[in-house]
Chains A and B, each alone.
Chain A
Amino acid sequence: MPAPVVPMLNYFAYLFDGGHWSLAGEGIPDRLLQHIAYTLVTLAISAVIALPVGLFIGHTNRGAFLAINIGNAGRSLPTFGLLSLMVVLVGIGTLPVIVALVVLAVPPILASTYAGLRSVDRSAVDAAIGMGMRPIQVLFRAEVPMALPLIVSGLRSALLQVCATATVAAYVGLGGLGRLLIDGLSTNDYPQVFAGAVLVAVLAVLLDLLSAAVERAVVSPGVRERSVRRTRWRRARPDPTNEDAPTSPVGISG
């Protein structure tokens, strides 16, 4: 008996089986929605925690050690270990999963928010104060818009990390795309494992594209690196209104 010559096809078998895409019951759509829900809920909670703290630390420059140390500690905490501990402490449920993922997501958001505010051009802040903005206006009309590229990049990297790591939910009996991995492994159903891995990767790419679109909508072209570079390049044409050399303000490379 010759060995099967088309083993690759088997890997796609689960993914492309229409029966698994049924909207009823626990099909792929259901797992996808659960996964997206874990990811977005985690990101929302993390942002609600990390943004105000990061803004406060960056604006006042008080407690900077906190932002830096939480950042480092958070990065080195194993999410799976933390999840196991949480389950022992509070039992099985959504709560320990979300808490473990929030602990993963807070550090990048906190660190980049803090770094974003510290990178803001001091003379623009000086001008904002000197022109009569109140402290809260200085923060939201000057500092935050200038820091936004970094803040958004922190949110985006948190989003990707959470999306990839939300598979751990399945280890404690919950849903999400992790189910495909766990169930597939326990039954040696490798096409199912493969489908889970592919779906997590595709979802991550789609979420990243979506967040790139959001970034384009909220970050001013004046501080967006690529657009500034493009318009600067266009200005290489002779410009009658330009009486001296163009400047390269801090924070904009290229």
Chain B
Amino acid sequence: MITFDAVTKAFPGGNVAVDNLSLELPTGQITVFVGPSGCGKTTSLRMINRTIEPTSGTISIDGEDVTSQDAALLRRRIGYVIQHAGLFPHRTVADNIATVPLLNGVNKAQAREQARELLTRVGLDESLASRYPAQLSGGQQQRVGVARALAADPPVMLMDEPFSAVDPIVRDGLQREFLRLQSELGKTIAFVTHDIDEAIKLGDRVAIFREGGHLAQVGSPQDLLDDPADEFVADFVGRDRGFRALSFITAEKLEVEQVSAYVDRARGASLVLDDTGRPTGWSVDGQEVLRALPGTFTTRDALRLVTDLAITSPAGAAVRVDEAGVADGVVAHEAIARHLTALRRETER
């Protein structure tokens, strides 16, 4: 567990970046620091590995004050990932990953061997080991940055906007793999982002910061959406927080209509299937030309996805498939709305 106890950081010139922060980051969980730019997230993060020293207050890891240890040795036990990866351009990918083990005196051959294993672990091909960072894409560099932070198997990881500089599609893949990795590794992670969507997606706990380095609210993503502490938090999580909240409800209990019966007379749309029963598209107004399917969902997907599919479908309905990808139900957005109303009544009771 990482503990902030009444931590304040005032930069020379009187700029108070973090103001009396008390916060606990539970062991084995991802705690996200989120908030508008300049509200002290990076400063808070960097005080954990002492790349910035607090003006007052203490930070401890598992009860031990970080200032009681040699700063360089402390940092080698804390993984560190930053926005533009910060890879060393003069070192190969393998040698970048081996940085901390080499500092710790592990021999070169062993460190390189381990670096190759880590490459696979973060979803990269081992053949990249001998490349230089300039020969990698932004997404690949970011993965190498994560592998490098994991190399000495530190119990704690600090990540400062690690996925902000890549495009949205790549970012989505990185986030998903990050969560998969964390489910295997169970690190204690402090993760900084300015993107509330990313915070909700990745955080076990989310700490919302506001200008002047104040902690506005901390809790699970669901807590923050359901029960924002004040106007600032409500505003920051967004007016569409009802929609965001759908990320936490699966489509398991959502009732669907039979596929065979589904011909919406009003819109004149019907679902077209291939020989194996997989959906291929919508036929609208009896035309031969198929309109593309925006996607399909399974019972394990979130209602947020289902709603999105229904809204963007040319037929105003989302298609459910089974494990094999065979269409096994259709749901119109009116039906989703009814389902949501029923859910709300249930929670209000």
Contacts and interface: CB of A to CB of B under 8 A. Distances in A.
Interface of A: 121, 123-134, 137, 142, 145-146, 148, 220-223, 228, 231-232, 235, 240-247, 249, 251-252
Given A130-B49, A243-B137, A244-B139, A222 B92 contact: yes
Which of A235, A249, A252 neighbours the largest number of chain B CB atoms within 10 Å of its CB?
A249
Contacts of B317: none
Contacts of B140: 241-244
B128 interface: yes
B91 interface: yes
A146 B49 contact: no
Q: Is the interface of A mostly helix, strand, loop or mixed?
A: loop
Contact of A121 (B51, B86, B170): B86
B302 interface: no
Contacts of A244: 137-140, 166-167, 169-170
B76 A252 contact: no
Given A133-B72, A137-B103, A220 B138 contact: no
Contacts, number: 121
| A127, A220, A249 — most chain B CB neighbours (10 Å) | A127
Contacts of B169: 244
Nearest to B138: A247
19 contacts: A121-B86, A124-B86, A124-B89, A127-B86, A127-B145, A130-B46, A131-B149, A132-B100, A132-B103, A222-B90, A231-B131, A231-B132, A240-B125, A241-B140, A242-B137, A243-B170, A247-B136, A249-B134, A252-B134
Contacts of B201: none
B173 interface: yes
Interface string B44-86: 0010010100000000000000000000111110001011111
A247 B90 CA distance: 16
A9 B141 CA distance: 62
Which of B74, B76, B99, B145 has the most A CB atoms < 10 Å from its CB? B99
Interface of B: 46, 49, 51, 72-76, 80, 82-92, 99-100, 103, 124-125, 127-128, 131-141, 145, 148-149, 158, 166-167, 169-170, 173
Contact of A123 (B82, B100, B135, B136): B82
Contact of B80 (A130, A137, A228, A251): A130
Contacts of A221: 132
B166 A132 contact: no
A245 B137 CA distance: 6
A223 B125 CA distance: 23
A232 B133 CA distance: 11
> A124, A220, A232 — which one has the most chain B CB atoms within 10 A of its CB?
A124
Contact of A249 (B75, B131, B133, B139): B133
Given A128-B88, A243-B170, 19 more contacts: A124-B87, A127-B88, A130-B80, A131-B75, A131-B76, A132-B74, A132-B100, A134-B72, A142-B88, A145-B90, A145-B91, A220-B91, A228-B135, A231-B135, A243-B139, A244-B138, A244-B167, A245-B137, A252-B134
A129 B329 CA distance: 55
A243 B168 CA distance: 12
